[in-house]
Amino acid sequence: MKNPRDIIRRPIITEQSTEMMEQGKYVFDVDVRANKVEIKQAIESIFEGVKVSKVNTIQVRPKKKRYGRYTGYTAKRKKAIITLAEGSKAIEIFES
């Protein structure tokens, strides 16, 4: 089994994702090769007491970028939207 910290890279904090947190949905940047079952197991093992009910994944395509005369592409990545089960405790992303 893969290390859960290698599957879940970082939380994505945007205005839209913070509004989704009120509904019990959290957005994470995950490994491109990870599937939904691995993502669910990784979230439940990293955050104690959290029960995941649903996982939605989104493939973000690379975009063409240019810097002066040099052109290239941004990295391909994958986002996962995690929906927590009813009665599950919230994920503490903003720890003090």
Domain of residue 43, residue span: 4-84
Q: Which helix (H) or strand (E) holds 7?
A: helix 4-7
Does residue 96 fall inside a structural domain?
A: no
Q: What's the structural domain count of the chain?
A: 1
Other CB atoms closer than 10 Å to residue 53's CB: what's the count?
A: 12
Does residue 95 fall inside a structural domain?
A: no
CATH code for position 33: 3.30.70.330
pTM, two decimal places: 0.88
Which residues in the chain come in under a pLDDT of 70? 1, 95-96
pLDDT digits over 65-79, tens only?
Answer: 999 999 999 999 999
Does residue 51 fall inside a structural domain?
A: yes
Does residue 78 fall inside a structural domain?
A: yes
Does residue 39 fall inside a structural domain?
A: yes
> Residue 41: helix, strand or coil by DSSP?
helix
